[in-house]
Copies of this chain bind each other. A is one copy, B any other.
Amino acid sequence: WSSLPRRHTARQTPAANERREKKTTKKRLKASDLQLRFCTNETQAARETFVAKLQRLGFDILVSEVFSPAPAAAAVLKERGLRPHLLVYDGLLPEFDSVDQSNPNCVVIGDAAEKFTYQNLNEAFRVLTDLEKPLLFSLGQGRYYKETDGLKLDVGAYMKALEYACDLKAEVVGKPSPTFFQSVLNDMGLQPHEALMIGDDLVNDVGGAQRCGMRGVQVRTGKYRPGDETHPAVTADATVDSLARAVDALLRQRQQTP
């Protein structure tokens, strides 16, 4: 689900009609026996913050149902005994409160926006080059996004800059990384073939889920582009007009399957 209002701009927040339909749809899903998780590449705010915002907008959603790159990265860092130098948006810092950040032995970048300064990028680069085995994590690999005042370079572009300068390959945390989707399946106690991903981003939502062994359905909203249905690399298992239509089909199918 990538249509969370990930940039805090009026433009990116779903319109009132769309919101009303989404709320109804989620109520129907919650009323079914289907397990539900929300996967977002939001990396400018901690989950608590954007879930609270969605709750204020009337969405029935819990922090525990939301999967985003930062907590996934925090878990990986702790598991592997890594101490990050963080180049992320200030609002995201709380997600790393429980991670030791002294004497860093890796770098984590998110969509740092205005914090992507020449000085901060050079600093992240120096931390990497000072390491015997440079290790870079990137919270997503988006190329760009749109805000009310125009297009902005996303974290993927800065990831490529550091990859080139350090001659390394970053580990991407978040969609479309299969390990990210797998961590969500683990939380649900499901096998990939038992789960269905619905999203508007063909490559990050649908393609990522499929590479993990799940089915992927694209909705013709948000990031959907007409060319998606003839994309050279990713073919959705189905393409439907909206989340409501996807849920209709899903619930109908379940009623028919004993």
Alpha-carbon gap, A144 to B167, bound state (A): 11
Report the minimal beta-carbon distance from A150 to chain B, rounded to whole angstroms: 6
Please, what's the 1-or-0 string for A99-117, where 1 marks a CB less than 8 Å from any CB in chain B?
Answer: 0000000000000011111
Whether A122 contacts B143 by the Cβ 8 Å rule is: no
Whether A167 contacts B143 by the Cβ 8 Å rule is: yes
Whether B113 contacts A125 by the Cβ 8 Å rule is: no
Alpha-carbon gap, A113 to B118, bound state (A): 7
Alpha-carbon gap, A150 to B151, bound state (A): 32
Q: Which residues of B contact A185 (CB under 8 A)?
A: none
Oligomeric state, in copies: 2
Question: Which chain A residues in 131-176 approach chain B with CB under 8 Å?
Answer: 143-144, 150-154, 156-158, 160-165, 167
A116-B118, A118-B117, A125-B144 known; A156 vs B151 contact (CB < 8 Å): no
Residue total for A at the interface (Cβ-Cβ under 8 A): 28
A64 at the interface (CB under 8 A from B): no
Which of B122, B143, B153 contacts A151 (CB under 8 A)? Answer: B122
A195 at the interface (CB under 8 A from B): no
Report the minimal beta-carbon distance from A24 to chain B, rounded to whole angstroms: 36
- Among A115, A122, A125, max chain B CB count under 10 A is at A122
Which of B116, B117, B153, B161 contacts A157 (CB under 8 A)? Answer: B161
Please, what's the 1-or-0 string for A41-82, where 1 marks a CB less than 8 Å from any CB in chain B?
Answer: 000000000000000000000000000000000000000000
Alpha-carbon gap, A153 to B152, bound state (A): 20
Which of B126, B153, B165 contacts A156 (CB under 8 A)? Answer: B165
Which of B114, B116, B150, B160 contacts A160 (CB under 8 A)? Answer: B160
Q: Which residues of B contact A156 (CB under 8 A)?
A: 164-165
